[in-house]
Amino acid sequence: DAGVTQSPTHLIKTRGQHVTLRCSPISGHKSVSWYQQVLGQGPQFIFQYYEKEERGRGNFPDRFSARQFPNYSSELNVNALLLGDSALYLCASSFVTSGEQYFGPGTRLTVT
């Protein structure tokens, strides 16, 4: 079975630009969550979606937005990029909103 996939793997953007990150969950999983991991720290929760509805939002500015599609894949959008947005962005999927999460390999975003 294919695991959680994320694209792109690496991305370099300039301050002020916009970025879209993509995630495909494990087949049958209806919940997708996004996390930001800054170097040397643990992941921080950004969004959780279940059945295409937002079920939770972390303490991130409105520049961050996300959505989930009918096939349960998801996009994370970040507008007006700042240097501090440089991080590894992780997507995780699960059958429901609770319990163990299956993580993708992440997208490493560098903002210059």
Partner 1 sequence: SQQGEEDPQALSIQEGENATMNCSYKTSINNLQWYRQNSGRGLVHLILIRSNEREKHSGRLRVTLDTSKKSSSLLITASRAADTASYFCATEPDTGRRALTFGSGTRLQVQP
Q: How far is the CB of 20 from partner 1 (least distance, A)?
A: 19
Per-residue string for binding with partner 1, 79-108, x by CB under 8 A?
Answer: ---------x-x-x----xxxxxxxxxx-x
109: contact with partner 1 by CB under 8 A: no
Determine the Cα–Cα distance for residues 21 and 12; give it in Å rounded to an integer: 12
Q: Is 6 exposed, middle or buried (0-12, 13-18, 19+ CB in 10 A)?
A: buried
Q: Which two tokens stand for residue 90?
A: 């992780």
By rule CB under 8 A, what string of x and - marks binding of each residue 44-63 to partner 1? xx--x------xx-xx----
3-class SS of residue 81: coil
Residues 6-25 close enough to bind partner 1 by CB under 8 A: none
Q: How many CA atoms lie within 13 A of 55 on its CB side?
A: 14
For binding to partner 1 (CB under 8 A), which residues are involved? 4, 33, 35, 37, 39, 41-45, 48, 55-56, 58-59, 88, 90, 92, 97-106, 108
